[in-house]
Structure 1
Amino acid sequence: MKPATDAFPVHDDGQDDRSQLIREALYNAIVERRLAPGTKLVETEVGKLFDVSRTVVRAALQMLAFEGLVKIERNRGAFVAYPTPDEARQIFESRRVIEPEIAERAAERITSADIKLFQAHLKEEERLLVERGPNARRAAIKASGDYHLMLASVAGNLILERFMRELIARSSLVIALYGQSGASSCARSEHADILDALMSRDSKKAADAIRHHIDHIEEDLDYKVVSNSPLRDALRV
């Protein structure tokens, strides 16, 4: 009889940590639109960039596939998800269902400390918007998504916060693929309007502001494909 410990798989914490690190790097590259929809994620190439085995890379890709950001195709490999127009509409429809409720809850729960954090975040968004260069642009994109995740955090529901993390990431894919002018990025003025509603603890106004904001983002989508970046450049390893 085998020892009892052999009856269960032994997890390599180091391997798990490395997989999580790669998952975070790929996630950020996707959300910041450095990796365009449809980009092939070759296990050997990613492994060389991070000096890890294909097994470690594969685990990271499976995490992203579970989140809907990567599609793994048999005999073809892994690709950054390429949302269809119908999928894009469903993502924004989901946001219209979830985010107004989040805004209402946030208006009821927001504290003075939360308000200070939001105000500091808006200042950072404003700073990034006036800076030049692709790095500032990517940072502004990430900061814009982070604003919505902050709202979910203040709402105090961990399940909704998890849903929002996936929705924001998948929205970034849609915007990368179909956004035509850059207006898809969250306008700072609209973020400020949402914060004003939160500060006045007006739940209805907060919900209406977030709906208007989501409508504004989606209005800019025109279903045209954007150019891609090499994997090495996108990950900046």
Structure 2
Amino acid sequence: MSPSAKQKNRTDLICVALRSAILERALLPGMKLPEDSLGERFGASRTIIRQALERLAVEGLVELRHNRGAAVAQPSLEEARDLFELRAQVEDLVIARLAKGLTAQQEAALNDHIAREDEASAGPSAISIRLATEFHILMAELTGSPVLIRYVNEIGYRCGFTLSQFSRPHSTHCGIQEHRDIVAALKSGDVAEAQRIARLHLDQVAARAQFNGADINGFSHLDALEPYASTVREKG
């Protein structure tokens, strides 16, 4: 592997680790993310850490503040509402693309992911929210459209982030069944019906969120990153 490819691979690993830590609430809104401390934690250069933070900033999970460094983003209720409406419109395009010809391989990939959601349903809700978000990102990836993949990634992770902050406790089984319903609708090939079911699902997701002014301010220490960072270090 060339030096540039190795650097990109390491940036990707750190980006995945930090994203998971944020979505799973190991790192809370407003927490500072110093490049030097993260570099020591992940065993990586500040350049690689900066690249990962810049990518997460594009996704809306990190704020890059002039002369103050990076910090975990602090989503607002107004932004959360706007994101869900925008997400529904973009995912209409994803559903239309997949419903026109879902392959057996694509169906299997979606069902495999739902099985992972099912396995995680008894665990922490933040992990279930991350996996639920990644189901929608997987649908976008299966379209093969760079534009849809890009926008669903950015909007999807930001929505998942706001859900992890605002969502009230609830059973994850409802969301998992709704994902099964979406796959069944895609398989049927009825674009309008698949879009209706997907829209209903996103409405239900928004309804399960606590958009009523919940306090999301908090603090956690970088030690909470250790399980995520150790995985990156082990992969070299």
For Structure 1 versus Structure 2, the TM-score category normalised by the shorter chain is 0.7 to 0.9
**TM-score of the aligned structures, taking structure 2 as reference length:** 0.83
**CA distance in structure 2 between the partners assigned to 1:192 and 1:230 by the alignment:** 37
4+ runs deviating over 6 angstroms: none
For 2:219 and 2:175, locate their aligned partners in 1 and report how far apart those are by CA, in whole Å.
24
Q: Please say which of residues 16-25 and 90-99 is displaced more in the overlay.
A: 16-25
In structure 2, distance between residues paired with 1:161 and 1:211: 18
Unaligned runs of 5+ in 1: 1-10
The answer as to whether partners of 2:126 and 2:164 remain within 8 angstroms in 1 is no
Match of 1:82 among 67, 74, 77: 74
Counterparts of 2:219 and 2:98, CA distance in 1: 37
Distance 1:176 1:225, change over 3 A: farther
C-alpha separation in 2, matches of 1:33 and 1:43: 19
How far did residue 170 of structure 1 move? 0.4
Counterpart in the other structure of 1:154: 142
Of 193, 203, 221, which residue of structure 1 is paired with 2:210?
221
Corresponding position of 1:8: none
Are 2:222 and 1:231 equivalent residues in the alignment?
yes
Greater shift, 159-168 or 26-35, is seen at: 26-35
* Structure 2 residue 14 is the aligned partner of structure 1 residue 22: yes
What is the letter of the counterpart of residue 106 of structure 1? L
Q: How much has 1:172 moved relative to structure 2?
A: 1.7
* Residues 60 and 122 of structure 1: CA distance in aligned 2, closer, same or farther (over 3 Å): closer
Q: What is the aligned-residue RMSD (CA, Å)?
A: 2.5
Q: Does 1:51 align with 2:43?
A: yes
CA distance in 1, matches of 2:168, 2:110: 28
- Count the aligned residue pairs: 223
1:1-237 equivalences in 2 (<5 Å): 13=4, 14-129=6-121, 131-132=122-123, 134=124, 137-182=125-170, 187-219=175-207, 220-222=209-211, 223-226=213-216, 227-236=218-227, 237=229
Report which of the two structures shows the higher radius of gyration computed on alpha carbons: 1
User: 1:143 Cα shift?
Assistant: 2.4
Q: Which has the higher contact order (CA 8 A, sep 6+)?
A: 2
Give me the whole-angstrom Cα distance separating, in 2, the residues matched to 1:21 and 1:56: 10
Instruction: Report if aligned partners of 2:130, 2:160 keep a CA contact under 8 Å in 1.
Output: no
1:129-184 superposed Cα distances (whole Å, 9 cap, x missing partner): 1x34x4xx554333212211222123332210111111111012211221122468
Amino acid at match of 2:92: P
Structure 1, 183-192 or 198-207: larger mean CA deviation: 183-192
Letter in 1 for 2:210: L
Q: TM-score, normalised by structure 1?
A: 0.83
- Alignment CA distance shift 1:150-1:20 (3 Å): closer
